[in-house]
């Protein structure tokens, strides 16, 4: 079969357009995880929920993340901190510990959120030179302070050991509040 120049151009143009459409379609798609989330969200999901255990009740723990989010542009809270009650928590988990929790199944959309813990990893606790208490022990003592008893989900913003004064200073915020309280904890076991 003999091709004339005009048919050859049409075939080349058709192949080019088909290739361009396939390339554009491929560029517009992100990899999907099992739950239909994009690849970046899937990486975050695999990372787990990080925060301090601030309460413990009947086999569950309340974990609060200290990263502040501002939703005021959409009419929401300007000082929002994620908090989740995780059930199926090991009895070894203690208030004051910083943990990473991987959820099993769906998380309920309430505040605090609610989910079942698949696994919980306790992060290494800090004990500065000269301190008698570990960081998690100092945080645990701060969380029983009467000054914050009305906080539904206290947020541990900062923990500092003052060796000269032999005391811990724990900065705690309420879950919707800008202001923080500094709770001082004597470095005594």
Structure tokens at 101: 């929790």
Structure tokens at 114: 């609610």
Q: For all residues of the chain together, what is the average pLDDT?
A: 83
Q: So what's the pLDDT on residue 37? A: 43
Architecture of domain 49-186 in this structure? Beta Barrel (2.40)
Give CA–CA dist 92/87, Å, rounded: 13
Strands (E) in the chain, as ranges, are 49-57, 60-64, 83-87, 98-108, 113-122, 155-162, 167-173, 180-186
Segment 13-53, tens digit of pLDDT = 454 444 544 444 444 444 433 344 444 343 444 789 999 99
Would you kindly state where each structural domain of the chain is located, as residue ranges? 49-186
Q: Which pTM value belongs to this model?
A: 0.73
Segment 98-150, tens digit of pLDDT = 999 999 988 888 999 999 999 999 999 889 999 999 999 999 999 999 999 88
**DSSP line for 157-169:** EEEEEETTTTEEE
């Amino acid at each position: 079969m003999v091709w004339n120049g005009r048919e050859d151009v049409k075939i080349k143009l058709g192949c080019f357009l088909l290739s361009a459409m396939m390339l554009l379609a491929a560029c517009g798609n992100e990899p999907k995880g099992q739950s239909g989330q994009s690849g970046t969200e899937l990486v975050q999901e695999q990372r787990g929920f990080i925060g301090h255990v601030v309460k413990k009740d009947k086999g569950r723990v309340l974990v609060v993340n200290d990263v502040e989010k501002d939703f005021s542009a959409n009419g929401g809270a300007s000082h929002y901190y994620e908090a989740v009650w995780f059930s199926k928590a090991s009895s070894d988990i203690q208030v004051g510990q910083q943990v990473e929790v991987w959820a099993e199944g769906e998380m309920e959309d309430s505040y605090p959120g609610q989910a079942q813990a698949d696994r919980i990893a306790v992060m290494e606790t800090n004990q500065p030179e000269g301190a008698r208490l570990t960081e998690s022990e100092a945080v645990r003592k701060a969380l029983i302070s009467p000054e914050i008893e009305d906080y539904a989900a206290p947020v541990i913003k900062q923990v500092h050991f003052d060796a000269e004064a032999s005391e811990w200073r724990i900065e705690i915020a309420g879950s919707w509040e800008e202001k923080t309280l500094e709770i001082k904890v004597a470095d005594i076991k």
